[in-house]
Structure 1
Amino acid sequence: MPTVCLTEIPADVLALIEAVQAGPVLKAETLNAGLNSEIAARVHTADGTLFVKGLRQEHCRVWTQQREADVNWYVNGIAPALTWRIQAGGWDLLAFEDVPGRHADYAPGSSDLPLVAEVIGRLSTIQAPDTIVRTMPDRMKAHTSTPELFAGDTLCHTDWFPTNVLITNRAVVVDWAWASRGAAWIDPALWVVWLINSGHTPTQAEKWAARIPAWNIAPPAAIDAFARAAVSVWEEIADGQTQPWVLDILNAARTWRTHR
């Protein structure tokens, strides 16, 4: 379930930020694009602008803050750089360099598609750090009888919601809360579902995935199994949901499964 994003930064959080910045917060703009943070804000100080995200330390998903911190060094040039982390006053806060980009457009014909394919290709060559112990076979074991087909040592982002990709002169990937260890073709496969949701046919979507070398050497049976498992995942997410985007993604996953 998504975490409610606060519309204003609490005074105690502002005080923590000002302490580490050694100066006042001149302006704070809260954002509502993310689904995983209580605090998501662009913070302006005398030293510049940062993107700050955070959760209360008792929050059930505060572990995602550690996941983001663990991953950041390994995705230099792919993700915004982590500037500092605060764990105090009941809060866990991360500050990243601010990337003044717009959200990616996955629609057919979009000039963003080559940039996204390029960054997924770069990511598919990065080995997951030892701190990333959650694996794709473990995450998917309730949705397939063959989770071992998804095993690997690649660092997988796994959440290709278009708001998680910022476009400048390149694609920058944010929100690494669900980063996992798995096969190098996992992220291209997940992107296929989002491309179908954005108006591509399954064949067109897979042609974009084929720009990523890891996709082309993946066993077809493994991709087939993943397509079936993806439907099961989204059926679970959609159970009781009324948000149109969730149902749209479920339909896209079903379309891909039928195609495979």
Structure 2
Amino acid sequence: MATHRLTELPADALKMIATIAGPVHDVEMVSAGYNSEIAARLHLDNGTVFVKGLRQDHPRVWTQQREADINAFTQGLAPALRWEIRKGGWDLLGFEDLGGRHADYSPGSPDLELVLQAMRYLTSATPPSGVELKTMPQRMIAHVTDPADVRFFEGSTLLHTDWKPDNVLIVDGQARLVDWAWASSGAAWIDPALWVIWLIASGHSAADAESLAALHPAWDITPVRHIDAFACAQQRLWESIARADRPDEWTHKLHAATQAWVEHRG
């Protein structure tokens, strides 16, 4: 799942960035996140910019284009895209540097309401036409018990889907969302359902995690069977990831969280 993170910004990439953004006075490499080889905060003449990038021959370089294409449709939640560079073997994106801090998902955290506000706001967005997005039925087809169950996940809502706390920044009393590489289309209740897994992994009981998800307007109008099928699919997904070579600590936590969720739904 994870992409190897570089600990230094390659000189050739830095040179290309300077031609677009101007002189770079300082580079802070960022360790959080899994999808990029390059993640860095650059200090420029006119402030800072956050850069993420992959080599052009990386198997997931498509995620860079996904983020660039969707950025205009996620204003108010995602950081604004300032520039793109695709040459010299690198695919680089320069974003508004939001600052802030990572969200705290622990029980009782005031950030939980801010995350819910962001989810409610996202519900009003629809997948942009002309941008290639996978649907949740497509993403879950290999993990459902009954292939017919994927119809439960159909919908026209734009979904973020990657609710790792590192992807939620608390900025001026608002939750902002970064890393839209896995944006998809599907039923509106799916983002809060995916959040349930992260909440359990962050110390909530399955019952308490679902109580928070139920504050999302789409939750209570969703048939129980649909959420049951999704919980089981997520358990099978994380089980397969946990069996991969050298899974990290969060993988084990999420696998255990999905098991606890399925057991709770019984």
Give me the TM-score of the superposition, normalised by structure 2.
0.95
CA contact (8 A) 1:50 1:97 kept: yes
Equivalences for residues 27-106 of structure 1 within 5 A: 27-106=26-105
Counting matched residue pairs gives 259
Equivalences for residues 2-17 of structure 1 within 5 A: 2-17=2-17
Alignment deviations for residues 55-100 of structure 1 (CA, whole Å, 9 cap, x no partner): 1111100000011011111110011111111111111110110011
Alignment deviations for residues 99-149 of structure 1 (CA, whole Å, 9 cap, x no partner): 111111101000100000110111122111121331100110011121111
The question of 1:170 aligning with 2:169 is answered no
Q: Please name the residue that 1:255 is paired with.
A: 260
The question of 1:148 aligning with 2:151 is answered yes
- Secondary structure at 2:99 match in 1: coil
Equivalences for residues 120-131 of structure 1 within 5 A: 120-130=119-129, 131=131
Q: Please name the residue that 1:204 is paired with.
A: 208
Q: Please name the residue that 1:194 is paired with.
A: 198
Q: Please name the residue that 1:161 is paired with.
A: 164
Q: Percent identity?
A: 56
Structure 2 CA distance for aligned equivalents of residues 110 and 15 of structure 1: 42
CA contact (8 A) 1:132 1:180 kept: no
Amino acid at match of 1:229: A
Structure 2 CA distance for aligned equivalents of residues 185 and 2 of structure 1: 26
- Secondary structure at 1:256 match in 2: helix
Structure 1 gaps of 5+ residues are none
Structure 2 CA distance for aligned equivalents of residues 49 and 58 of structure 1: 28
Structure 2 CA distance for aligned equivalents of residues 26 and 96 of structure 1: 17
Alignment deviations for residues 18-66 of structure 1 (CA, whole Å, 9 cap, x no partner): 1011x21000111110101011000111011000000111110000001
Amino acid at match of 1:219: P
Considering only aligned residues, what root-mean-square deviation do their CA atoms show, in Å?
1.0
Amino acid at match of 2:260: T
Structure 2 CA distance for aligned equivalents of residues 194 and 161 of structure 1: 7
- Secondary structure at 1:259 match in 2: helix
CA contact (8 A) 1:105 1:162 kept: yes
- Secondary structure at 1:26 match in 2: strand
Amino acid at match of 1:160: W
Amino acid at match of 1:256: W
Give me the TM-score of the superposition, normalised by structure 1.
0.97
